[in-house]
Amino acid sequence: MRKNKFILMSGAAALILATAGVAIAERGPGGGHRNPDQMFERLDLNKDGEITREEAEGAREARFNEADSNGDGLLSPEEMTAAREAKAAERQQRRFEKLDSNKDGLLSQEEMSASRRGERHARMFDRVDANDDGKITREEAEAMQQRMREHRGEHRGDN
């Protein structure tokens, strides 16, 4: 049973990775799903827990047709921009709704601070504040920038 589940999940992952290039190419940088579960949900059109080649192609065609606002079977730069902006607006609205914990349609400082983004900002501040005095000096900020440049260089193989 465990082996079959592993094979099924491996196959699903391979299919998701194979279709990811198409999604990224169509949506542009930063426009795709970062969560594999979301991508799987989007591609599994009949919601049977499996993605067929036809479903993957159908999802791609549906995204194309949605972007093709004049229905001429061709995408203009304006249509691509409009589709990308519409998707970005949808994502922003979902983020807003998730952050709005009291559902009043407004975000307070407390709601923003309680979010993952607020937590990341606090952790980053703590990392930059090398001497833990609750303040960031210019030297601490410059040291962090240098560490980040070195880190990026290591991952690119620039050193």
Q: How far is CA 72 from the centre of its chain?
A: 30
Give the Cα separation of 35 and 13 in Å (integer): 12
* 71 CB-near residues (< 8 Å, 6+ apart): 65
pLDDT tens, position by position, 2-56: 555 545 454 444 444 444 444 444 444 444 555 778 788 888 888 898 889 998 8
Q: How confident is the model at residue 1 (pLDDT cuts 50, 70, 90)?
A: low
Q: What pTM value is reported for the model?
A: 0.47
Give the Cα separation of 78 and 76 in Å (integer): 5
Please name the residue that has the structure tokens 């990392």.
127
pLDDT tens, position by position, 65-91: 999 999 999 999 999 999 999 989 998
pLDDT tens, position by position, 113-132: 777 777 888 888 888 888 99
pLDDT at 158: 54
* pLDDT above 70 for 157: no
Give the Cα separation of 94 and 72 in Å (integer): 31
* Total Cβ atoms within 10 A of residue 83: 21
CB of 28 closer than 8 Å to CB of 36: no
CB of 146 closer than 8 Å to CB of 152: no
